[in-house]
Amino acid sequence: MSATVAMAQPAAPARQRRFTVLRQAIAFGRTRIGLAIVVAVSLIALAGPLVAPHSPTVFVAAPYAPPSAKVLFGADYLGRDVLSRFLCGGRVILGLSLAATAIGLAGGIAVGLLAAYGRGWLDELLMRLMDVLLAFPQIVFVLLLVSAFGPQLWLIVLTVGLSHLPRVARVTRGAALEVVERDFVKSAEALGETRTRILLAEVLPNISSPLLVEFGLRLTYSIGLIAAVSFLGFGLQPPAADWGLMINENRIGLTLQPWPVVLPVLAIGLLTVGMNLVTDGIARAAIGLGAAPAMPR
């Protein structure tokens, strides 16, 4: 019955079908709200420097000056314009988070696929190595390496990415284990396809949905982690503008002039919530909780 129902649907063009899960995810209200938030915050971060009224590093008012016509959200602990620093401080955190997530995802997928397809001792070796990494709390792992080698941006990106790696690897392996046992993989082996091609062309496309969810989740964690590292003083160094750094620099004056803390907290919070909503929508679409009716009309 189900087979005939599927057949009854008109043949969709190839390009459309490739993104079925994404299209179904967009149908959820939560995905749309999340996407709107993420796009809005990203726009602020990307285009912010272009519209900032002042330079982020120039003193324009008295320290902790309250909001006025000249400085819309007041001044920070050194008397710099809060709005300008906020608009300029997002680019770096967003870029670093994306890069760290990409590293973690690429490494994790590679390890997970190899473990699932290799089985046996390779699986054991890789996954026990991942367990060792998993034993460190993510922030401790990052701080350990950054405090040892100094606060360099590439190192932060690398360590945050590395801290994601075991988590992504576990998800990938779990999803791939079921796929590598399917007959179409056996069929590719019988034709003599290379291992790389089997993993990338046969297995990977079939686990793209859980990995999409994983991407959103890891991006959220990256944003939080990198903001935390900046807050602790290991990220961008003063006088550079950065959301994490802003929170740290101005927290003493929180009661006096809340804006330099509230604005970046709000942005990071919204970005995280938005990303989570999108991720959740994709996850729901991936398990088939589609909003659209499954039956043909």
Partner 1 sequence: MTMPGVSVEGLRVDLAGTGRDIVADVNFHIAPGEVLGLVGESGSGKTTVALALLGHSRRGAQIASGRVLIDGQDILAATPAALRAARGRLVAYIPQDPGTALNPALRIGVQLEEMLRAHLPMLDTTARAVRLAEMLEEVKLPAGPAILRRYPHQLSGGQQQRVALAMAFACRPRLIVLDEPTTGLDVTTQAHVLETVRSLCARHGVAALYVSHDLAVVAALAQRVVVMYAGRIVESGPSAAVFRTPRHPYTRRLLQAVPDPAARRGLVGIPGHAPAPAMRPAGCFFAPRCDLATDICTTMPDATRVAPEHDVRCWHAADLAAATPAVPPPDDPPPPGGTLLAVRGLGAGYGSVRVLHGIDLAVGPGECLALVGESGSGKTTLARSIAGLHADRTGTIHLHGAPLAESVRTRAQDERRSIQYIFQNPYASLNPRRTIGDIIARPLHIFFDLPQDDIHRRVAAQLERVALNAAMADRYPDQLSGGERQRVAVARALAAEPQMLVCDEITSALDVSVQAAIVTLLADLRRTMGLSLLFVTHNLALIRTLADRIAVMSGGRIVELGATEDIFNAPRAPYTRDLLANTPGTSAIGLTQAAQTPP
Binding site residues, partner 1, CB under 8 A? 1, 3-9, 11, 14, 17, 182-184, 186-193, 201-202, 205-206, 208, 293-297
What is the closest distance, in whole angstroms, from the C-beta atom of residue 101 to partner 1 in the complex? 24
Taking the complex as a whole, the smallest distance from the CB of residue 201 to partner 1 amounts, in Å, to 8
Q: Pick between residue 114 and residue 246 the one whose CB is nearest to partner 1.
A: 114
Give residue 91's identity as a one-letter amino acid code.
Answer: R
> Minimal distance in Å, beta carbon 23 to partner 1?
15
Contact 268, 224 (CB under 8 A): yes
As measured in angstroms, the least distance from the Cβ of 297 to partner 1 is: 6
Q: 57 vs 208, which CB is nearer to partner 1?
A: 208
Q: Which is nearer to partner 1, 7 or 69 (CB)?
A: 7
Whether the link from the prior residue into 239 is cis, omega within 30° of 0, is yes
Report, in Å, the least distance between residue 194 CB and partner 1.
Answer: 9
- The amino acid at residue 61 is A
How many residues does the structure list for the chain? 297
In Å, how far are 3, 230, 244, 263 from 254, measured between CA atoms? 62, 18, 15, 12
Rounded to 5 degrees, what are φ and ψ at 246?
-60, -45
Contact, 285 vs 107, CB < 8 A?
Answer: no
Angle CA(137)–CA(143)–CA(148) in degrees, nearest 5? 130
> Closer to partner 1 at the Cβ: 15 or 128?
15
Which among 90, 21, 80, 24 is positioned nearest to 56, based on CA atoms? 80
